[in-house]
Amino acid sequence: MKKIQILILLQLLVIVSSCQIGKKTTYEKKPMPEWVSTKPQSSMYYVGISSAPKKGFLPGDYMANAQQKALGDLSAGISVNIESTSVLSIIEHNYNINENFSSEITASTNQQLEGYELVDTWEDDNFYWVYYRLSKSHYQALKEEKKQQTILDAKNKYYQATELLGRQLHYNAFQFYVEALTALKPYLGESTLTDINGEEKDLGNVVFTSIADFVNNLKIVFDSEEISAKKGVELEHGTFSFRIVDENNNPVSSIPVKISFTGTGLIRNSEVSSNDGRIFCSLKKIKSSPNIETISVSIDMVSFSRAAKDPMIRSLIKSIPASETKIRVNVEKPYLAVYSEEKSLGKIREDSSRLKTTFEGLLSSEFIINDINQPDFILNITSNTIENGKYYDEYQVTISYTFDLVDNKGNVIYRKTSSSEYTGKDLKAADNKAYIEVSKSIERIIIRELISAVNK
């Protein structure tokens, strides 16, 4: 009997619990309001209506989702017209920027929505609906109040920028210009007229023009009209350097640039100007063949634009045409002096310049070979053969040689030391064969190794 009573009690608890859960998940069913099927039109209000599915979501989640979508619908009804006098209109006309920024402006404006009111909600088994509205007059009043405060803040940043520029703190000034333009972002499609130094001007246009002028006034100045350098020879410090200056030839620091070189040897293609405006190209020596090359330098607007955190403002800055300077580079052959001491059996050979002649012929396309001018490189050749016995009626010699290439500072650029054995019907024949085979080795292998060492 007790067991039956316990079972009945448990069943009652389950029924009660189910009823409680049902109470939590049920809602008051109401007839579908007209606003769900037909969006109201009003001359006094912006209206936003949307829904979110309920299945698979907690009530808090689908309610928040519907509210967010309804506010997005309300925002979409607030049209943004790009005024002809606005900074965006001027930019599109003067800088050929075809990208449509109106959606960016709309999104920026909508982030500042306030004063809207919840009119109604409705739900059925599958969806939860939300109806918001915003008074047009209230919205315009709040927007105008914010706009004037924003213009005032941006104008103060503009004044700070011009003051810093007057003190030749160029990059700091540029940053304040960017901050002023970023502050004005929600109103870049509108007129932003205000008093600037006693004159009524559009602040957005003034700020953007100041940024564009700042960039356009930057000059890239080389110390000479062209540069001459020898292939493979370590460059003197400052050979490939230039300055960034403003329109008054004052040095400008912290300016990023892109560098390109039609030849080979450039280690890094981006640099930033130092306090004296100077930039040194990361080029230790030119590795390309003697020729006419070109080095090009341009203001790196992609890096420059990173002064702005906002993607839209960054995109506007990147679109500003930047200065570019090209300079001719004459890549010349370096001077090479070749000295040789070639011996046979400890004595200077009759053909005492066989290896020297081989090297000079193969290197003539890369070097000016003479010992009259101050050499950029010196190639020292030493070789000798020694008798190494007689085997099966043939004489054997061992040839040993060393090839040393040094630069004009005494640094060993390349060294090759080796020895090999050769045979012939007599010592002269064996010696001659040894020098012939070494000459072939120079032609096949050693010459490439030497040139590669010069170009490292």
Q: Where are the domains of the chain?
A: 25-83+97-135, 139-216, 219-305+322-332, 335-454
Contact 219, 246 (CB under 8 A): yes
Q: Which CATH architecture has domain 335-454?
A: 3-Layer(aba) Sandwich (3.40)
**Across-strand partners of 347?**
344
Both tokens assigned to 68? 């967010």
In this structure, CATH architecture of domain 139-216: Up-down Bundle (1.20)
Instruction: Report the Cα–Cα distance between both ends of the chain, in Å, rounded.
Output: 101
Q: Contact, 435 vs 358, CB < 8 A?
A: no
- Name which residue leads in pLDDT, 407 or 26: 407
Residues 269-286 have pLDDT tens digits of 999 999 999 999 999 889
- pLDDT tens readout for residues 223-244: 999 999 999 999 988 899 999 9
Distance from C-alpha of 62 to C-alpha of 424, rounded to nearest angstrom: 98
Q: What is the mean pLDDT of residues 206-213?
A: 94
pLDDT over 70 (residue 139)? yes
pLDDT category of residue 392 using cuts at 50, 70 and 90: confident
As assigned by CATH, the class of the 25-83+97-135 domain is alpha beta
Q: Band the pLDDT of 80: cuts 50, 70, 90.
A: low
Q: Is the pLDDT of residue 98 over 60?
A: no
> Which pLDDT band, with edges at 50, 70 and 90, does 63 fall under?
very high
Q: Residue 11: is its pLDDT beyond 70?
A: no
pLDDT of residue 109: 60
Q: For the domain with range 219-305+322-332, which CATH number is right: 3.40.190.10, 2.60.40.10, 3.20.170.30, 3.40.1350.10?
A: 2.60.40.10
Of 194, 188, 186, 113, residue with least CA distance to 152: 194
| Gyration radius of the chain over CA positions | 41
CA distance 387 to 352: 18
Give the HSE-up count for residue 298: Cα atoms under 13 Å, Cβ half-sphere: 13
pLDDT at residue 20 in the model:
43
pLDDT at 60: 94
How many angstroms separate the Cα of 140 from the Cα of each of 10, 71, 135, 393? 63, 17, 9, 113
Contacts of 289 (CB under 8 A, 6+ apart): 231, 331, 366
CA 33 to chain centre: 55
Is 12 or 184 the better-scoring residue by pLDDT? 184
